[in-house]
Amino acid sequence: MRIVIAGGHGRIALRLERLLSAGGHEAVGLIRRPEQAEDLRTAGAEPVVLDLESASAEEVAEVLRGADAAVFAAGAGPASGAARKDTVDRGAAVLFADAAERAGVRRFVVVSSMGADAAHPGDEVFDVYLRAKGAADDAVRARPGLEWTVLRPGMLTDDAGTGLVRLEARTGRGPVPRDDVAAVLAELVETPGTAGLTLELVGGATPVTVAVKDVAGN
């Protein structure tokens, strides 16, 4: 499979690219800065410099044409202000979904956030972030041309992955290593039976492959 990943230099995306490459897939990562390219090549991915805050839907669609799946793993980052929560966490996700539809890429996986809700109250930057992620999820889920899956991990950690998770419509809050998030994403991309599902993810006791198979088609 050829899989295009938005936010290709992110900490989850780089892990995902290594897994996809090791599995024989062709991973393509969208990055904002040319100096990030070597990190993607090291992970086994093809880097494409394209800023989703300034690119047009057609420019993004050009990169997506011929792909088998798209993964939105971009984010403005914890140090960014409210404005970029809207332009990246919401706007770039909507743009990427629009481009996928234009390019005829149906399989579309979103890395969201636990608690994402377009109606989330509050004025702090994290409140804006949860509203932006929720609005992005809503926009993706409203597109009939996409076979979407929305993944909402709990608190992300850099602990070594265990390969054991809890993946359900509702899990309750909890931590999850980025390694395990990437492993779940790699399985989701290849599991079309999870299309139409919004799933929460935390650390657990079920092997990743089993957890994904258990929710597929439910």
The residues carrying an active-site annotation are 129
Cα 56 off chain centre by: 20
What is the sign of the dihedral through the CA atoms of 175, 181, 184 and 188? positive
**Dist CA 53 CA 87 (whole Å):** 6
Vertex 59 angle, CA 55 and 65, to 5°? 140
DSSP letter for each residue of 123-152: SSHHHHHHHHHHHHHHHHHT-TT-EEEEEE
- Who contacts 86 (Cβ-Cβ below 8 Å, separation ≥6)? 128, 132
Q: At what angle do helices 57-64 and 93-103 cross, to 10 degrees?
A: 60
Q: Specify the pairing of strand 206-207 against strand 155-157.
A: unpaired
Q: How far apart are CA 41 and CA 215, in angstroms?
A: 33
Contact of 60 with 48, CB cutoff 8 Å:
no
